[in-house]
Structures are given as structure tokens and as C-alpha cells.
Amino acid sequence: MNKLFSKALVAIVFIFVFNAADSQNKIVVFQSDFGLKDGAVSAMKGVAMGVSPDLKLYDLTHEIPAFNIWEAAYRLEQTVPYWPEGTVFVSVVDPGVGTDRKSVVLKTKTGKFIVTPDNGTLTLIAQSQGIAEIREIDEALNRRKGSQGSYTFHGRDVYAYTAARLAAGAITFEQVGKQLPDSVVSIPYQKATIEGNKLKGNISILDVQYGNVWTNIPADLFKQLNPTFGDTLLITIFHSGKKVYNSKAPYAETFAAVPTGKPLCYLNSLMQLSLALNMGNFAAKYKIASGSEWSLEAVLIKKK
């Protein structure tokens, strides 16, 4: 009796522990360029709920500009670090659907999974989070039943389905498919560098809601210039190598440190050098965009 009861308790405890011990955590986060006006995102989530109603489905964004792989890469870079270990991300920005681009799952060294076409989407996250292992999705096994005749919605039939099964523990990471070499398709861009008192970097993204300009120059590099609040930066912006903006802006702790409508440099929430207008839209005013073809130089001028 005592033994039977213990076994029951063990069984109950096992259920809880087993859930907790999964390397995946039942969370799936979706990103795409589908927008939210049609049913595509909802169909992906329906497929995931069909795999397991215990999954927790969230969104990164579905407003990636159509076919903009660079921005998909950047949004992952911006967001993945803040989700817990074991989270499975699905990113579907896939202009090459139907071509021979590979469908993969990247496991990062930080224990997160990204399910995506390997078309440049992993450019930034593979560098920053590190590649633990990459596997190619074996579509013979990992494809929604009954979807073999569909040519164009891999997001639903392969990516969402595989991500849900991985997150729910229906398949192990190994069962995704065969392991690939530890490298991903990468988009070239200006890396962050320092020479003397000059920083160079890429305009990796706009903070679209406010029109702020975010670079890939990290606080660590910037701080090698020993900046203090109130110092001035001489900023030059290039599009495909051509100069399109040149002006000074103070390094400020808060937006309110400069008058309304004036430019400032600051460290954004990702601790990267950024440009803004206090209560205004820098990108719109100066026609600045972002992507691999946009770069920036910043020279520090110490206050007297």
C-alpha cells in the first residue's frame, strides 16, 4: 500500500518534473512578413494548437516589410535574448520559397531555437548568440499531414508545424533532420570598428515608431572614446557609400536633455549608439533608412 502510494506520488511528481526538464519550454514565438490583415498568421497558430493545446504562442512581429530578410535578421537579434532558454522562434520571410534555400533549425549556444529558411535571416543571431548546432528540416518527416500538394505555404506546413512539435516535445532536436556544418547564409554589412577617435558602423534598423536611427556600434566600443554626457559627436551618414547627412549632435543621457526638435546621440535599449530628435522623427526629417547598404561614421569632440 505504502509502496503503491509512493509510486503514485512519484508518477505525479514525474509529470511535473518531466515538463520542467524539457530543454524546450512550450513557448513558440512567430515572426513573418505576412501582416495581420489576413488569416496566414492565424493558420500557423491553428496548426501549432493542433500539435498541442498546451503550447504558448506569442508574436515577435508580422510587419517585417515584404521580402526584407535584413530586417527579419535584425528583429531576431533585438528580441531573442529577452526570451527564456528553450523558446522556439519561427521566422518566415522567404522570397526564395520554392527554390533550393534550405529549411533549418538553429540551436543557439544560449539554448534557443530558430526555425527559418536559411536565407540570411540568421546573419546576426548566429554571430551574437553563437551556433550550438544547425539541423536541416527533413520534410519527409516534419511536414503537416495532407499538405504535400501545397507549393507556397511552408510557413504553416513546415515551419510552424516543426516548431510546434519541437516546442511540445513531440520531436527531439535530433529528429528535426540531419546536422549541417556550423555556418549560415550571411548578408554583408559594415561591422562596428574604431580607428583613433572615429567609429564606423551600420545603420542596422530604424526605431520605426519614433524615427530614431539605431546603429550596430555597441556601448563597449563607444566607451573606448571616453565620452561623457554633453560631449559632441560629428555624425556622417552614407547610403551605398554616398554621403547623405553630416552634422553635430550632443551625447545625451535623456531625450529631454536637448530642446524639442533637436538631434542627440544616445545609447538605446540594446546599448548601441543611436540618433534621435527630441519629440521628433530623425529618419523622416533627413530621409534616412536602414539596412546592409547604410553606414555611419561618428567622431567624438570633447566638451571644453
Q: Restricting to residues 266-285, which ones interact with a copy of itself according to CB under 8 A?
A: 266-269, 271, 279
- Which is closer to a copy of itself, CB of 195 or CB of 220? 220
Nearer to a copy of itself by C-beta: 131 or 158?
158
Instruction: Report the DSSP beta bridge partners of residue 195.
Output: 198
103-108 and 113-117 beta bridge pairing: antiparallel
Asked if 150 interacts with a copy of itself (CB under 8 A), we say yes
Among 43, 132, 187, 244, the residue binding a copy of itself under the rule CB under 8 A is: 43
Cell of 286: 533627413
- In sequence order, what are the beta bridge partners of 106? 114, 134
Residue 12 Cβ, how far from a copy of itself at the closest point, in Å? 8
Task: Candidates 17, 18, 23, 49: give the one binding a copy of itself (CB under 8 A).
Answer: 49
Query: In the beta sheet, which residues pair with residue 285?
Result: none
Provide, rounded to whole angstroms, the least separation between the CB of residue 230 and a copy of itself. Answer: 15
- CB-nearer residue toward a copy of itself: 121 or 238: 121
Q: Give the total of residues touching a copy of itself (CB under 8 A).
A: 74
**Nearer residue to a copy of itself within complex by CB, 18 or 67:** 67
CA-nearest of 28, 141, 153, 37 to 87 is 28
Distances in Å between the Cα of 33 and the Cα atoms of 37, 94, 100, 145 are: 11, 9, 20, 25
| Three-class secondary structure of residue 79 per DSSP | helix
| Options 24, 28, 45, 222; binder of a copy of itself; rule CB under 8 A | 45
Told to check if 301 binds a copy of itself by CB under 8 A, we report no
Which range touches a copy of itself (CB under 8 A), out of 77-85, 127-135, 233-241, 287-295?
Answer: 77-85
- Written as nine digits, the cell of 202 is 551600420
Candidate ranges 118-126, 132-140, 193-201, 204-212; the one touching a copy of itself (CB under 8 A): 204-212
Considering only residues 247 to 266 of the shown chain, the ones binding a copy of itself according to CB under 8 A are: 253-257, 266
Cα 157-141-114 angle, rounded to 5 deg:
60
Query: Nearer Cβ to a copy of itself, position 80 or 298?
Result: 80
Q: Is 127 in the site for a copy of itself (CB under 8 A)?
A: no
Q: Is the dihedral of CA 249, 198, 125, 152 positive or negative?
A: positive
Q: Does 21 bind a copy of itself (CB under 8 A)?
A: no
Cα dihedral 284, 285, 287, 288 sign: negative
C-alpha angle with apex 208: 206 to 213, nearest 5 degrees?
A: 30
